Every structure is written in structure tokens, then in C-alpha cells.
Structure 1
Amino acid sequence: MTCPRCSTDGAAVLATSPVPGVWTVHRRGLCGFVRRDTEPPAVRAAAHYPDRFRVTADDVAVAVDVPTVPARRT
């Protein structure tokens, strides 16, 4: 299946519903995009995914890491 965000193949199954066949959660390793197969076409289908949210392998390579959450104040 093709990832709607980075347009590459090879999403891995991250989770499945407790009731077999109801939903499956997929995660793409390159861009980290996570989606359920029950999402609307704008989220799960590359042809309907908004262009402004698309990324390339180059975009991912230069992306800034998300900072860690600081320790809770007491």
C-alpha cells in the first residue's frame, strides 16, 4: 500500500482491532505517518491526501527532531 504522506510503499501494521476485521492501524517507517484503514479517503488514500501535508525523503532527512518533554515541576 502507498503512504498518502510520502508516497512510498511498505507501511507496517501497528495494531488491529480486538474484533477481527474491524480496523487496522498502519505506520509508515519513512515519514512516521500513522492511520487507521477506516479513516476517510483524505487521510488514507494518496490521491486524496492534501498536497500541503506531503513530504519527501529529503524533507524527512532535514526535519528537526521533536524536543523531549521537560521533567515535571514539583
Structure 2
Amino acid sequence: MICPRCESEKVELLVKSPVGNVWEMYICGTCTYSWRSTETPDKTDPKHYNAKFKINPAHIDKMLMIPPIPPLKG
């Protein structure tokens, strides 16, 4: 399986539905994107995932962890 957001192959099964084996939830070990197996292809398939939301794994280490808080307006 390939992550829809960063196209990493470090995807793991996070959890299965507690009743009825209806869905599975996956998480990417590279970019931490997570999704359910029942979501639409634009959320689960790298070919259909919106390109403007893709992440290059080489840039992850340079990304800020918390967005800075802007100064208060006077």
C-alpha cells in the first residue's frame, strides 16, 4: 500500500472496525496521514489525491511542527 499524500510505502494498519469488520484505518509512518478504507479515492488513492496537498518526504524535516501565532492586533 502507498500513502496517498506522500507516496511512501511505510503504511501500517492502525485499527480495524470494532464490529463487523466494516472498515480499516491506515497511517503513514512518513507523513502521519491517516485514512479509512471506506473513504473515496481522492483520499485513499495516490493517483486521485489532490496534487496541491501532496507532501514531498524530503521536505518533512524542514517543516515547522506548530504554526506560529501571529502578533495580536492593537
TM-score (norm 2): 0.83
**Cα offset, 1:65, TM superposition:** 1.0
1:66 aligns with 66
Aligned length: 67
Q: Give me the whole-angstrom Cα distance separating, in 2, the residues matched to 1:32 and 1:10.
A: 10
Q: Aligned-pair distance for 1:13? A: 1.1
TM-score, length of structure 1 as denominator length: 0.83
Looking at structure 1, the residues matched to 7 and 23 of structure 2 have their Cα atoms a distance apart, in angstroms, of: 22
Percent identity for Structure 1 against Structure 2: 31
Deviation at 1:58, TM superposition (A): 1.8
Q: CA shift at 1:11, angstroms?
A: 0.7
Runs in 1 of length 4+ with deviation above 3 angstroms? none
- State the partner residue of 2:31: 31
- Which residue type is aligned with residue 4 of structure 1? P
| 5+ residue gaps, structure 2 | 68-74
Equivalence for 2:12: 12
Aligned partner letter, 1:58: A
Which is further off, 56-65 or 29-38?
56-65
Distance 2:21 2:66 in 1: 34
